[in-house]
């Protein structure tokens, strides 16, 4: 049995970690293509670029908004044209995924500098490619993990709390999906069966957000960095990233991919839709009542959605639910990593059950 685990080359997290970026990039190359999301371009670059440019040359490109094939091609042409040996992705999940894909196409090293802790994309060797419309297209598996992930906790604390909450939604799925893969001996996201380290980190992820999630949220509301906030930033980014990649994905992310088929969900974040996938997964996997209580209670306390209406799908029709369920069970989906075989009918039933429990708890 082949077991595989992968990790990012280097993970740096601190308050004011951005001050370290010049030295960190200088380890990797001389000329960086810096792909900046909107808030990074406005709030970070003006004050920081002069100091960074003492350590490396930088070509700045503004991210076009969607991690699509067309955007990746556009940015890769810039990187090749400017002979960039490092690509820096600075922003949210889609900027990060685009930077990974661009670096691969341009044969450059890659540094990831998230400005929010909303997904576990930063550490992994996977990029999610979307259609220009925003619908999920495919996973792009890359031959190596990012060379550097640099998390500035002051930047995360200053970002809207909804991002941190969404990150906890993504992190909430990590242990459940790794556990499904462990039971099924299913392959993880790096081409083997999970290692004990991968499963342990996935469990650490779950334990950390349940222990510190509420306190981290309070810190983020006050825009201050506390140990609890730092723990949750680490869980959302490093534990969840290593945990999903080394442990494997299963039903929650397949249901997320199904939900993206419906335009009503496009204004909601990845982690918010994944949280609905986790809740439905509790019923699919026949989890015990105590665990169902624990997960719903956590979601409610930190403000993750527990009903379909909360991800833009009030009054969803059976036809739409069927579309989601069929997409979630499509060939090649990680739904097939669940220990029992799952049909679209079962997914539809689980989504209805999860939504009903969410609604009933809200009204009681
Ligand atoms: Zn995810």
pLDDT, tens digit (0-9, with 9 covering 90-100), for 144-182: 999 999 999 999 999 999 999 999 999 999 999 999 999
Over residues 48-54, mean pLDDT: 98
| DSSP assignment letter at 187 | B
- Closest C-alpha to 179, from 254, 281, 298: 281
Catalytic residue among 170, 231, 337, 355: 170
Kindly give the distance from the C-alpha atom of residue 17 to the centroid of ligand 1, in angstroms, as a whole number. Answer: 24
Q: Which of 85, 256, 337, 355 is catalytic?
A: 256
What values do phi and psi take at 286, rounded to 5? 55, 45
Q: What is the whole-number distance in angstroms between the Cα of residue 128 and the centre of ligand 1?
A: 10
Contact yes or no for 30/54 (Cβ under 8 A): no
Average pLDDT over the chain reads 96
pLDDT given for residue 309 in this prediction: 98
How many whole angstroms separate alpha carbon 266 and alpha carbon 11? 31
On the question of pLDDT at 136 being above 80, the answer is no
Between CA 242 and CA 194 the distance in angstroms is 11
pLDDT band at 189 (very low <50, low <70, confident <90, very high): confident
- pLDDT above 80: residue 134: no
Q: Assess whether 270 carries a catalytic annotation.
A: yes
SS3 212: helix
Mean pLDDT of 268-296: 97
Distance between Cα 168 and ligand 1 center (Å): 10
| Ion ligand 1 residues within 5 Å by Cβ | 170
In the reported structure, the alpha carbon of residue 270 is separated from the centroid of ligand 1 by a whole-number distance in angstroms of 7
Interatomic CA distance for residues 285 and 267, integer angstroms: 28
315 CA from centroid of ligand 1 (Å)? 26
Cα–Cα nearest to 254, from 136, 109, 103: 136
pLDDT of residue 364: 85
Instruction: Spell out where the chain has E strands.
Output: 11-14, 31-36, 57-62, 86-91, 109-114, 126-130, 136-141, 148-152
Does residue 256 carry a catalytic annotation? yes
CA of 243 to the centre of ligand 1 (A): 11
Task: Give the three-class secondary structure for 264.
Answer: helix
| Residue 253 annotated among the catalytic residues of the structure | yes
> Which of 231, 239, 253, 337 is flagged as catalytic?
253
Catalytic pick from 104, 231, 239, 270? 270
Q: Cα separation of 75 and 57, whole Å? A: 17
Ligand 1 center from residue 70 Cα (angstroms): 23
């Amino acid at each position: 049995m082949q077991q595989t685990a992968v990790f990012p080359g280097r993970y740096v997290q601190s308050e004011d970690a951005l001050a370290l970026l010049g030295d960190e990039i200088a380890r990797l190359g001389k000329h960086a293509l810096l792909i900046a999301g909107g808030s990074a371009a406005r709030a970070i670059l003006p004050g920081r670029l002069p100091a960074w440019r003492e350590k490396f040359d930088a070509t700045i490109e503004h991210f076009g908004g969607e991690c699509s094939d067309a955007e990746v091609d556009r940015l890769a042409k810039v990187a090749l044209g400017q002979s960039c040996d490092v690509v820096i992705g600075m922003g949210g999940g889609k900027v990060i995924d685009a930077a990974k894909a661009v670096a691969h196409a341009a044969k450059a090293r890659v540094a990831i500098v998230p400005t929010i802790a909303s997904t576990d994309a930063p550490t992994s060797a996977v990029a999610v490619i979307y259609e220009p419309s925003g619908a999920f297209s495919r996973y792009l598996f890359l031959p190596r993990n990012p060379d550097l992930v640099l998390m500035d906790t002051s930047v995360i604390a200053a970002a809207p709390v909804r991002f941190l909450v969404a990150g906890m939604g993504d992190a909430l799925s990590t242990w459940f999906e790794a556990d499904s893969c462990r039971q099924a001996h299913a392959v993880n996201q790096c081409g083997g069966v999970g290692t004990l380290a991968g499963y342990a980190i996935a469990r650490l992820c779950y334990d950390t957000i349940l222990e510190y999630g509420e306190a981290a949220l309070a810190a983020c509301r006050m825009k201050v960095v506390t140990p609890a906030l730092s723990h949750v930033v680490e869980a959302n980014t490093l534990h969840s990233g290593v945990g999903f990649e080394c442990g494997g994905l299963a039903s929650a992310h397949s249901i997320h991919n199904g939900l993206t088929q419906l335009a009503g969900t496009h204004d909601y974040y990845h982690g918010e839709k994944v949280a609905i996938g986790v809740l439905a997964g509790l019923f699919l996997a026949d989890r015990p009542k105590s665990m169902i209580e624990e997960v719903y209670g956590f979601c409610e306390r930190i403000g993750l959605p527990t009903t379909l209406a909360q991800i833009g799908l009030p009054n969803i029709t059976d036809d739409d639910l069927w579309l989601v369920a069929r997409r979630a069970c499509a060939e090649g989906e990680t739904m097939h990593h669940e220990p029992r075989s799952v049909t679209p009918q079962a997914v539809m039933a689980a989504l209805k059950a999860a939504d009903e429990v969410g609604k009933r708890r809200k009204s009681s």
